[in-house]
Amino acid sequence: MKQIEVQIMQQSYLLGCPEGHESRLLQAVERVDTAMTRIRDAGKVRARERIAVLAALNLAFEIADREEADLASAAQAQAAAPTEPAPLVPAAGPQSADGLASSHASHASLAGDPSGQMQLLLRRLDDALGDDGRLL
């Protein structure tokens, strides 16, 4: 573990930091220093301990707000995501039992991707239209 000396509100602190996480620690120190300095500069609180508690509460509140917004965004994205369409099943037509079984197998292999689903739909339309090209 690496030791890093930092300054928060003009006071030095020696902090332990895992290797490779120095930049994250320095970013956190900067956020805490900024939050504490803002409270001190507002002029209402002078005791360093009270400033630290208020800064910690403000930062925790910001994190909670961000987490809530992230959860709302995730829920919105999930609600907006297209639902999986029902698998296309070929209409029973003038096919033999063997033809129907092979048709089901080919449909199952095509149903996984959107272009395959389009091919299935086109095949079903062709089967429904029949030789004369009429639906009814």
Determine what percent of the chain is predicted with pLDDT higher than 90. Answer: 51
The whole-angstrom separation of Cα 9 and Cα 41 is 11
Lowest mean pLDDT: which of 19-33, 55-69, 82-96, 99-113? Answer: 99-113
What is the Rg, in whole angstroms, of the alpha carbon atoms belonging to the chain? 32
Residue 108 has pLDDT above 60, yes or no: no
Q: What share of the chain is helix, strand, coil (3-state, %, to 5)?
A: 60, 10, 30
pLDDT digits (tens, 9 = 90+) for 38-92: 999 998 899 999 999 999 999 999 999 999 999 999 888 888 876 655 555 555 4
Looking at the whole model, is its pTM more than 0.85?
Answer: no
Look-up of token digits 């956020």: 31
Residue 96 has pLDDT above 50, yes or no: no
